[in-house]
Structure 1
Amino acid sequence: MATTACQPKTGEVQTVGPAEPAQRAATSFVHCVESEGGGCVTLDPKLGSWDAFALLHWLGAGSPTSILQALRRELEHHRDPYAVQNRFVNVTARYREPLRGAECSPESARPIAELLPRVVSHVQTRMKSLGLWRDEFEQLVNGLASEADDGLADGWLVHMTCFGDPYEIWVATAKEDERQVVVGMLTSLPAWLDGGPLVDEHVEGRIRNRSVSNTTTLGVIREGTVDTRWIPIPIEEF
């Protein structure tokens, strides 16, 4: 009788992709938010790095008026680690109910180290076109970029798509020891960062499920005038 022997596998060994730990962390975090909301957020120094990235993202996408009126307040907020943590807690608490049953799963992931230079370049170009690019603003942008790079150099921005509201989210991770931890979340990404507008039915779904008053984040305009001692640019220039 002929005998058979175990044949060694000659194909390529399948390895875990570099983004997989970040995608798993993002998935676990979203599942946590569905049940615990803001309780999933812990105080971590790298939350500040993400807040720096988010501020740069806002400078590149926010309205000039909101930037002039809210930037000073946002920078004061950024200096307080507990305020930074509280902002993230509020975001996750607000999305606890919408994420339940939305069935979000990772679609792709991008290294934040690749995205950060694009954000900085866009902010520079935009601020120059608005006439805001002064020495002080350049120092601000470079400082935020350095802070973001310090904490997020090995992090990822995980794009998750969902069957229901909010339809898509971006979860930010940072490397901590040998694992990836979640440090932030976005619900939209501009076209210059390869994002895009929601289709009409998704916009309608968001409006039905969440009131506009509960979706504000960075740069909310409050009553008052621009502090010309801090940014000496008359608002009439815009």
Structure 2
Amino acid sequence: MVSLDVGPAQDGTTQGDTAPTAVPQNGTAPTAVPQNGTTPTSAAPARQIEPSLVLRPGAFDPIALLVLRCLRRIVYPLLFVGFTIAWVNGDFTAEAFARLTTPTQYLDALLSPLVVVAFALGLRVVVAALGFVVAIPLTADAWKPGTDARTLMRRMWDRYYLTSSYATLRWTWAVHQFAVARGGAAGTLLDVVERVIRVALPVSIGVFVVVALRTL
């Protein structure tokens, strides 16, 4: 049995200035009672995210995710390589990059000095689409029976929103580490490849800056 000491504090503060304190009757040290009725833990178990929930069983899904991560990571070094090529050829202009705004002009850019930039942008779109597609099976049985939408259209929209959430979570570092562990030797190799690509980004930026300064 415990009682709540809610009287005035000894330092002159009022009753509303301090949180209630549980005063045990057996002489043990008092403990604070949270105002909202929750337990004083850092995070409730229901709010913690388990990486295994966003990866399907087996090795294929983790490997697929790691491959997509490598492709996603390489987009940015490719962009700066493309910027360097465009700068050297005099195509680093607003008019030149405007050719990437429509499908027809985008295809024309593939035959111009902007080919690497166009390829990188296209790769980014493809990787995002594939990341969404491989997350779709995770949502098949995500809802508890009787809690999903009643109409087909609403169920489709709900599945789209849920798939987008899963796809976003799969890019996080915690899920990446879990995928590397589950992928075995192939997962470790892809992790090394991604680290190398990560180093390539500042290198490509440095090359672009040096080339740009030399040709000013």
Q: Same fold (TM over 0.5)?
A: no
Normalized per residue, the structure richer in helix is 2
TM-score by length of 2: 0.21
TM-score by length of 1: 0.20
Normalized per residue, the structure richer in strand is 1
Q: Larger Cα Rg: Structure 1 or Structure 2?
A: 2
